[in-house]
């Protein structure tokens, strides 16, 4: 009797267990779903949409555009001299800015890591460029290079570096240095902040031990400071490379990519294609190429870092 | 190896004086322990010897040469830090060879030296490891190895065992001591742990408030502390102090003395040098110099507060003349809390301190030694 009733109930019980198990599996996903939906909406959707534009003919002013064109944009791109020029300019812009931003930022961090009167005030002041909106910095620097309103050309002339005051932003050979200098000024605080934070995490006893071991200041820098900074240096250099390569604000404000495309970088070229020529399809194709290039760069750096840390262990 | 002389060394940070004229001679091969509470200036003194702190005034000499203005690297000393200060990105072998490499020592000589020291310290299997892959005790050993490998004039230790657990600390204490026997190196060891001081030192330098309170062998410091500070700092459980007034007694022509406690009871003591009747004095008695007596006539009444079994012995906390005292006994007493016992002081062993100067007034019978330094 009892056996029979038990046997009769079993399937019902089993179903209960199964649905309980199923809800147990689904439950955590339900909890994270709002975040997932948000991520999909604000990150994945625009990415997919943007990539799809690269294969379509989208020109804002042409009501008949919108058709699928396959890889036509990419084929045009291969022979687009302006794009190749922009690629070279991007490399120049990125590494020219990065080299000085990092070098000067590190020196500044080392100086700020010493004890001196008014250190806190100076530290606060040094980080000011970071707080200025980029288009304002761009406008200011453009004016500073302008001999009519700015002092820089006159100073350079007095120093004998310039024959007569002129605007370097209008000289195709020199124009790139304008935005690069503005970018260096703008980017030093980032490296100074991060390097200073890393420097302050180095235990003082290590320097004391090294000084007793017989290391000079230079040897201490090489065998203690640099190894301690290395992980921070690697990650900040990688991040900054990507940011600067994508960072067209200063160029758009100061030179608009000119004169004669001499300061056109890929990011500003995309801007020009999309918002001046209003060719969103072609601009998206360039953006896709830039995305692939930067992804490849990031993977290379991460791979290098992993190889280095493996060698470490 | 070399001797170290410290002559009238002072240290001030602005208006704050940290060390007030330190005089100390450390002989060749001696193991000196600087002991005192935090902030007594012992670490500052060690760092001045190392060259990590400026000397405000006075002289420090190593092997007869004044080294005040020499860089740390030119003083030929090695230091073991409390945090070990191992270079985290270098292997054990690299950590130990760093100083030799900087001196451009030949590679085969470096390898020999490292192999040797690694053998002594039992680090041979760990040479390729990074510090983060080592235990606390192993790191401590690497820090020692880094010091030994250079064969310096003197070793400086800055609380090297404070980051270890109790058992390991005990073990390393012995090892450092053995190592010192083996190498015979002049060593200056800073600690706040009086047990380390007692067990390791040839001579202890007890410091307080930037002044040397007493210099002497562990037994000397323990048995004849110069003042109340040294008496209270050295020894665990700590010495008991009871305030009272000095009295001379004449008994059958024998010159006697005692201390009248606040409750009127008299504790007999040996007549003390320079003590006069009714002078306020402090009686100092180590827990092991107080005995519990069965005969009420021979002891003073004390109320039991707490019984603390310590395995080897038992510590009885009691109240005598309104003051808490501790009594050390090898028995296993089972007194009830708040019951009364009777205690007697070992007249030969207790100390009399002048309450105002806090200096010890030695018994008339004790040969006058003065400062051994």
Query: Residue A102 burial by CB count (10 A; 0-12/13-18/19+): exposed, middle or buried?
Result: buried
Give the tens place of pLDDT for each residue, B33-90.
999 998 898 999 999 999 999 899 999 999 888 988 888 888 889 999 988 899 988 9
* A206, A212, A227: residue with CB nearest B78: A212
Tens-digit pLDDT profile for residues A83-113? 888 888 888 999 999 999 999 999 999 998 8
pTM exceeds 0.80 for this model: no
Predicted confidence at residue A10, as pLDDT, reads 52
Work out the average pLDDT over A243-266: 83
Backbone angles phi, psi at A68, to 5 degrees: -75, 130
Place of tokens 């994945």: A44
Judging contacts by C-beta atoms under 8 Å, the chain B residues touching residue A312 are 89, 130
Tens digits of per-residue pLDDT, B94-111?
999 998 888 888 889 898
Q: Is the pLDDT at A11 greater than 70, yes or no? A: no
- What are the b/e assignments for A154-184, b being 16+ CB within 10 Å? eebeeeeebeebbbbbeeeebbbbbbbbbbb
pLDDT tens per residue, range B117-129: 888 888 888 888 9
CB contact under 8 A, B98 and A215: yes
Task: Work out the pLDDT band at A267, boundaries 50, 70, 90.
Answer: confident
Q: What is the mean pLDDT of residues A167-171?
A: 80
pLDDT at A123 over 60: yes
A15/chain B closest Cα distance in angstroms? 52
User: CA of A312: which chain B residue's CA is closest?
Assistant: B89
DSSP codes joined into one string, B47-79: HHHHTSS--SEEEEEETTEE-TTS-GGGS-EEE
Residues of B within 8 A of A214 (CB-CB) are 73, 99, 102-103
Domain residue ranges of chain B, discontinuous segments joined by +: 4-233, 240-354
Per-residue model confidence (pLDDT) at position A2: 46
CA atoms of B315 and B341, how far apart (whole Å): 14
- Look at residue A18 in the predicted model and tell me its pLDDT: 79
Asked if the model's pLDDT at residue A311 lies above 70, the reply is no
pLDDT computed for residue B373 by the predictor? 43
- Residue B251 pairs in a beta bridge with B254
Q: Is B77–A211 a contact, with Cβ atoms under 8 angstroms apart? A: no
Question: Which of A213, A233, A312 has the highest number of chain B CBs within 10 A, making it the mutation to test binding with B?
Answer: A213
What are residue B343's DSSP bridge partners? B292, B300
CATH of span B240-354: 2.40.50.140
* B81 to A313: CB separation less than 8 angstroms, yes or no: no
Q: Is B130 an 8 Å CB contact of chain A?
A: yes
State the pLDDT confidence band at B371, using cuts at 50, 70 and 90: very low
Size of interface A-B (CB pairs under 8 A): 58
pLDDT digits (tens, 9 = 90+) for B303-316: 999 999 998 999 99
Given the candidates 3.40.50.10310, 3.90.1560.10, 3.40.710.10, 3.40.50.300, the CATH classification of the domain at B4-233 is: 3.40.50.300
What kind of fold does domain A72-312 have according to CATH? MetI-like fold (1.10.3720)
pLDDT at B258 over 80: yes
3-state SS of chain A: helix, strand, coil percent to 5? 75, 0, 20
Interface mutation vs chain A, best among B87, B96, B152, most A CBs within 10 Å: B87
| Cβ–Cβ contact B224 with A under 8 A | no
Partners of A210 on chain B (C-beta within 8 Å) are 87, 98
Going through B134-265 in order, the beta strands assigned E by DSSP cover 154-158, 186-191, 203-208, 211-216, 240-251, 254-261
* pLDDT tens for each residue of B223-247: 999 999 999 999 889 999 999 999 8
> Is the interface score ipTM higher than 0.90?
no
Of the candidates A212, A224, A228, the beta carbon closest to that of B50 is on: A212
Average pLDDT over residues B154-180: 88
Is residue A14 very low, low, confident or very high in pLDDT (cuts 50, 70, 90)? low
Considering chain A, tell me which residue range(s) the CATH 1.10.3720.10 domain(s) occupy: 72-312
A-chain residues near B130 (CB < 8 A): 312-313
**CA A33/CA A42 separation, integer angstroms:** 14
A313 touching chain B per CB within 8 A:
yes
Average pLDDT value for residue range A152-174 = 83
* Mean pLDDT rounded to a whole number for chain B: 89
Contact between A166 and A147 (Cβ < 8 Å): yes
Number of helices (H) and strands (E) in chain A: give both, helices first. Answer: 14, 0
Mean pLDDT for B178-204 is 91
């Amino acid at each position: 009797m009892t056996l029979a009733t038990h046997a009769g109930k079993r399937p019902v019980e089993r179903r209960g267990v199964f649905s309980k198990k199923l809800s147990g599996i689904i439950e955590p996903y339900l909890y994270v779903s709002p975040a997932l939906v948000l991520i999909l909406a604000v990150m994945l959707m625009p990415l997919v949409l943007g990539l799809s534009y690269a294969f379509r003919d989208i020109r804002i002013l042409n009501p008949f555009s919108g058709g699928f064109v396959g890889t036509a944009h990419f084929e045009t791109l291969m022979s687009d001299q302006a794009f190749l020029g922009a690629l070279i300019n991007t490399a120049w812009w990125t590494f020219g800015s990065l080299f000085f931003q990092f070098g000067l930022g590190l020196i500044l961090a080392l100086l700020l890591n010493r004890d001196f009167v008014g250190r806190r005030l100076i530290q606060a002041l040094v980080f000011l460029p970071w707080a200025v909106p980029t288009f304002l910095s761009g406008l200011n620097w453009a004016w500073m290079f302008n001999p009519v309103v700015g002092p820089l050309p006159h100073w350079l002339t007095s120093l004998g570096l310039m024959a007569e005051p002129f605007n370097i932003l209008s000289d195709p050979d020199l124009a790139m240095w304008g935005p690069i200098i503005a970018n260096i000024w703008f980017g030093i605080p980032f490296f100074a902040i991060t390097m200073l934070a890393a420097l302050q995490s180095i235990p003082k006893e290590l320097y004391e031990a090294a000084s007793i071991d017989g290391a000079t200041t230079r040897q201490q820098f090489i065998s203690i400071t640099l190894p301690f900074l290395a992980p921070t240096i690697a990650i900040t250099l990688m991040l900054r490379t990507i940011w600067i390569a994508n960072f067209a604000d200063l160029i758009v404000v100061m030179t608009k990519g000119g004169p004669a495309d001499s300061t056109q970088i890929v990011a500003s070229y995309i801007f020009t294609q999309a918002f001046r020529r209003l060719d969103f399809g072609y601009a998206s194709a360039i953006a896709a190429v830039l995305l692939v290039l930067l992804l490849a760069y990031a993977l290379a750096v991460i791979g290098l870092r992993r190889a280095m840390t493996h060698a470490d262990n | 190896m070399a001797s170290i002389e410290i002559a009238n060394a002072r240290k001030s940070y602005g208006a704050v004086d940290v060390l007030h004229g330190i005089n100390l001679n450390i002989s060749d091969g001696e193991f000196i322990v600087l002991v005192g509470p935090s902030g007594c200036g012992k670490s500052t003194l060690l760092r001045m010897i190392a060259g990590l702190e400026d000397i405000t005034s006075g002289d420090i000499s190593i092997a007869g040469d004044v080294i005040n203005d020499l860089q740390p690297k030119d003083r030929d000393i090695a230091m073991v830090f409390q945090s070990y200060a191992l270079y985290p990105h270098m292997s054990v072998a690299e950590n130990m060879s760093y100083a030799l490499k900087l001196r451009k020592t030949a590679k085969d000589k470096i390898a020999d030296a490292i192999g040797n020291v690694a053998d002594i310290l039992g680090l041979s299997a760990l040479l390729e490891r990074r510090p983060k892959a080592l235990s606390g005790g192993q790191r401590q050993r690497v820090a020692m190895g880094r010091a030994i490998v250079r064969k310096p004039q003197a070793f400086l230790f800055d609380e090297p065992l404070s980051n270890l657990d109790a058992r390991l600390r005990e073990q390393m204490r012995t090892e450092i001591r053995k190592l010192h026997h083996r190498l015979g190196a002049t060593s200056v060891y800073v600690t706040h742990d009086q047990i380390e001081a007692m067990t390791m030192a040839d001579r202890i330098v007890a410091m307080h408030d930037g002044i040397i309170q007493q210099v002497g062998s562990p037994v000397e410091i323990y048995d004849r502390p110069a003042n109340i500070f040294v008496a209270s700092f050295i020894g665990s459980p700590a010495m008991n102090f009871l305030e009272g007034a000095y009295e001379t007694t004449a008994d059958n022509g024998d010159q006697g003395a005692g201390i009248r406690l606040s409750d009127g009871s008299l504790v007999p003591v040996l007549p003390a040098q320079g003590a006069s009747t009714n002078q306020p004095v402090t009686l100092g008695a180590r827990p092991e110099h107080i005995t519990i007596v069965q005969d009420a006539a021979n002891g003073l009444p004390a109320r039991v507060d707490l019984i603390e079994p310590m395995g080897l012995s038992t510590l009885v906390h009691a109240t005598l003349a309104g003051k808490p005292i501790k009594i050390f006994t090898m028995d296993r007493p089972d007194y009830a809390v708040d019951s009364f016992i009777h205690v007697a002081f070992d007249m030969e062993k207790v100390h009399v301190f002048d309450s105002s100067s806090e200096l010890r007034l030695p018994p008339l019978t004790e040969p006058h030694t003065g400062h051994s330094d």
